[in-house]
Amino acid sequence: MHELGITQEVVSLATEHSGGRRVTRVVLEIGKLSGMLPDSVRFCFDLCAEGTVVEGAVLEIIETPGLARCRVCGGEVPLDRPFGQCVCGSTDLEWLSGDELRVKELEVV
Amino acid sequence: MCKADEGHEHEHNHAHTHANGHTHSHPHSHEHTPGTRVRVEKDVLGKNDRLADYNRGWLAGRGVLALNLVSSPGAGKTTLLERTVRDLADLSPTVIEGDQETDRDAQRIRAAGCRAVQLNTGVGCHLDAAMVARGLEELNPAIGSVVFVENVGNLVCPAMFDLGERAKVVVCSVPEGDDKPLKYPHMFRAGRVVLLNKTDLLPYVPFDTERFIEGVRQVNPTLRVIPVSALRGDGLGEWYDWVRAQATRRLPAPV
């Protein structure tokens, strides 16, 4: 359950950037390959936000698909789990996207 | 929900008002109090990563090699370390132990004649860079020595946390089954070397070593697998050679 600690970090980042104002929305980007379960983050969010300026905020999660480049043939390989195989047979893949775990923006009032 | 054709005056505190009989067709999902957007664009693990960089600098400044041992509970990390710290005594090893509770592992390492610091994470399921920074300060490893960090037994969460180590060493044991690389790919992706432990049990449990290695290749084709038995000592020479090679690499190139 690393999601609990990570969600606490999301709430801390939102609090830091809120300028002391009440946060009504948090936009979080979670890559498909990041090892984070969006549902677990949602589950933890309200709990972590309690008693902070983030309490009551809507959590909006943008899920980024996984994409890799094959180190052998250079082809692009879509990934929905943290490993995969290129059509050329290689499993040596460089991740291009999908490992994001980022607070993108907030809405404050 | 307001029905568009009823023409009632609704009670919401809108900035605009509607005359009686006015019909409006938009549903009631619009923002009542639009807020100010604040751009953040910060990695959630950024703070941990910065602290990990601090640890890396701290270690490099002292010429200390740090290795982060990760595995599920019971894979044999502590038994491996008890033996390793004895056999590599010339590298002046020290150990940071991470467990949710008790200092049992630190006691075992000390009984093997090695200095150890125990970190308890409580409900936490992994060590983070801040804990390791405190552990390193308390441990105060000798210049040019090796620090083994034994992470909390957990094949999931420690994969995400950079502690400032040179490499993650994944310990996986035969009784856990040969399907672990594909079931826990994040950890095998994060590792630099895998110690396949408890090979002395191969005659007694169903475990296909080739299938295990094939799984490792799928997840991380550059990952090296070293079969060992920490209990019996099989294969440890190759592990020690690997550690020594890393320890040599830690020194800055001569000018």
Q: Mean pLDDT, to the nearest integer, of A10-27?
A: 97
Domains for chain B: give ranges and CATH numbers. Answer: 46-249 (3.40.50.300)
Number of structural domains (chain A) is 1
pLDDT at B254: 52
pLDDT, one tens digit per residue, over B78-87 is: 999 999 999 9
**Pairing status of strand B36-43 against strand A66-70:** unpaired
Chain B residues within 8 A of A35 when measuring between CB atoms: 156, 159-160, 186
| Confidence check: pLDDT of A66 > 90 | yes
Of A2, A28, A108, the CB nearest to B38: A108
- Say if residues A64 and A100 touch (Cβ distance below 8 Å): yes
Query: For chain B, what is the mean pLDDT?
Result: 88
Which pLDDT belongs to residue B79?
97
What domain range includes position A30? 2-108
Interval B204-231: pLDDT, tens: 999 999 999 999 999 999 999 999 999 9
8-state DSSP, B159: G
CATH of the domain at A24: 3.30.2320.80
- Taking 70 as the threshold, does the pLDDT of residue B29 lie above it? no
pLDDT band at B102 (very low <50, low <70, confident <90, very high): very high
Which ipTM was obtained for this model? 0.92
Query: Closest chain B residue to A83 measured between Cα atoms?
Result: B219
The pTM of the full predicted model, rounded to 2 decimals, is 0.86
What is the rounded distance in angstroms from the CA atom of residue B22 to the CA atom of residue B173?
Answer: 73
Distance between CA atoms of B67 and B242, rounded to whole angstroms? 11
Average of per-residue pLDDT across A14-31: 97
Task: Indicate whether A33 pLDDT > 60.
Answer: yes
All residues of chain B having their beta carbon less than 8 Å from the beta carbon of residue A83 are 182, 185, 189, 218-220
